Structure 1
Amino acid sequence: MLGRDRFRLIHGEILPQFFYSLYGLIIGCERPLPFLPLSAATRADVTIRFAALENRQETPVALAGKFSIFADKEARFTSELGFAAAISSGRLITVEASPHLSQAGLHAALFGPAMGWLLFQRGLVPLHGCGVEVAGRLIAIVGHSGAGKSTLGRALVARGHRLVGDDQLLVDPVTTRVPPGMNVMRLWQDSAYRLGDGVSEEARIAAGYDKYYVDLGSPIPGDSLPLRLVLALGCDPSRDRPHYVPLNRQQGAAMLCNHVYQRPVAYSAGYAPAVLEWSTQVAVRVPVMALDRPDNFEALTDICEEIERLVAIEQGTPR
């Protein structure tokens, strides 16, 4: 069951309308989006519609990667996989997608780069990371693509902890609270198999790309949670055990800034001051640690046990 059909009259045509909850926002879409948690709401903060994109005649003020950014802050994102989107005013994403694009590929582009840009338009700063609730404490695992943050997050979930969100996390810089994201993770095929997850061809993000969406099945928290620790994950093949280094506030702010989602694109559009302010405020309130892990899968158990120990220490420390 993907949800109940709701109908609206749009330009004289009746379309089904589905509503979902994501990052504390209500997402409305004319098509079902099976990876998102359903919402009982009937009004959307963000609307996703599918239509041919109109050509913009003016020259973009900035080009960054697959983004073209215009003077009104609208961004156009184009992927070679057959996906293009116009992201406007923090409220609307218009999608033009190839009929050959898989549901997983559509989801990866729509709720990765396109949604990340929309969050910036709304004055929010998305952190590129995986959030897991460990013994009632929210831990954010950040790292560059391929660092293993989702694999570590999945290993923690396998030990009985709970996923809060993967790929993007929204941290309120004043309260440090993080609203829930999606209950799916992006895992490499090898990691999924080693952690006991099966993968299907329908969940493959792109042809020839061995990364898949894995549905964890268990529900994510319904309410936002305060962030208690940020772990910046790196890989050090010379180590045989994980190595943790607490960072001071300046180092922590720099680390957070470095792991903001789509940071180069955000800087190209003038969001650097907002990113810097957000990073500084969060680093004042949340401890940040660098974690260099060995380059082997077997070290996951040691890392998970150390994270659990850190949380236990934090629980016993008066705040």
Structure 2
Amino acid sequence: MTLHRYHVAGWSVRSPRPLPYLARDVGPEGPDPIDITFDAFDPPAAPTRTVGPFTIHGPDLIDLHPPGGLRLRIHDGRAIIVADSDGLSAAEVHTFLFGPAFTMLAHQRGRPPLHAGAVSLDGRTIGIAGNSGAGKSTMVQALVQRGARLLSDDQLLIDPATRLAYPAYPSAKLWAASATQLAVPTDNDARVKDGFDKFHIDLGASFLDAPR
């Protein structure tokens, strides 16, 4: 089976399906790659705790059940299983796979992300933090339009040993109103999820594919 190779936050990612919103990994594969698979899974027999859309079976085994029927299992800091994704667009799968599911995997790896965007501008890395809806992605997009290079839209991973910020993926999420204000075209196929007037925006040309 041919595996597609990508990298996120300094980690190699392998998937049997294309993941069009990630940066391709063309160099040597890093240690401890993350495996994405698409298959069914059953609940384990272990005691569980439910917190919002997460079912926590233990620190290394967490299920995510977002609205819409998609199910994801994050385990051992090494893998994410995606179930019931038929009928969903690549954009919708990306929203949850490399949103809350990837956040949990980063926690399992001991490097929890900051809820922040980041750009590189004039030789400096600038983090943009705030609650959901505060305008992080809008600010990221506005700075990119002024010459900044994108590192992260809303998940900022920093290596505590080197204090370097690692690039996430080459896109940002914008509400339609923000996209209109910034004169950014949107694509219905890139809608983050059904019924949401929010879109993934390709920023590959401005993506800084190296830690800063």
TM-score, structure 2 normalization? 0.94
Corresponding residue pairs, total: 210
Tell me, in whole angstroms, the C-alpha distance in 1 between the residues paired with 2:102 and 2:206. 22
The 8 Å contact of residues 87 and 114 in structure 1, kept in 2 or not, is answered as yes
User: Which whole-Å CA distance do the structure 2 matches of 1:199 and 1:48 have between them?
Assistant: 27
Q: How does 1:5-154 map to 2 (within 5 A)?
A: 15-41=1-27, 43=29, 45-60=33-48, 62-71=49-58, 73-154=60-141
Distance 2:122 2:39 in 1: 45
Helix, strand or coil: the match of 1:145?
Answer: coil
Report if aligned partners of 1:165, 1:182 keep a CA contact under 8 Å in 2: yes
Q: CA deviation at 1:41?
A: 4.5
Q: Deviations over 1:258-287 (max 9, x none)?
A: xxxxxxxxxxxxxxxxxxxxxxxxxxxxxx
Q: How large is the Cα RMSD of the aligned pairs? A: 1.4
CA distance in 1, matches of 2:126, 2:109: 25
Could you say which residue in structure 1 is the equivalent of 2:151? Answer: 164
Question: Counterparts of 1:142 and 1:99 in 2: how far apart (Å)?
Answer: 34
Instruction: Write the distance in 2 (CA, Å) between the matches of 1:53 and 1:152.
Output: 39
Structure 2 runs not aligned, ≥5 long? none
Offset at 1:217? 3.4
Amino acid at match of 2:201: V
Which residue pairs with 1:247 in the alignment? none
> Which structure has the larger Rg?
1
Q: Using the alignment, how far apart are the partners of 2:165 and 2:84 within structure 1?
A: 31
Identical-residue share of aligned pairs (%): 37
Equivalent pair of 1:131/1:153 in contact (CA under 8 Å): yes
TM-score after normalising by structure 1: 0.63
1:19–1:41: 8 Å Cα contact kept in structure 2? Answer: no
Q: Does 1:223 align with 2:204?
A: no
**Alpha carbons 2:171, 2:202 under 8 Å: kept:** yes
Quick check: 1:126–1:168 contact (8 Å CA) kept in 2? yes
Aligned residue in 1 for 2:168: 181
Kindly state the Cα deviation for residue 93 of structure 1 after the two structures are TM-superposed. 0.5
Following superposition, the deviation at residue 79 of structure 1 comes to 1.2
Query: Can you give the 5+ residue segments of structure 1 that lack an aligned partner in the other structure?
Result: 1-14, 226-319
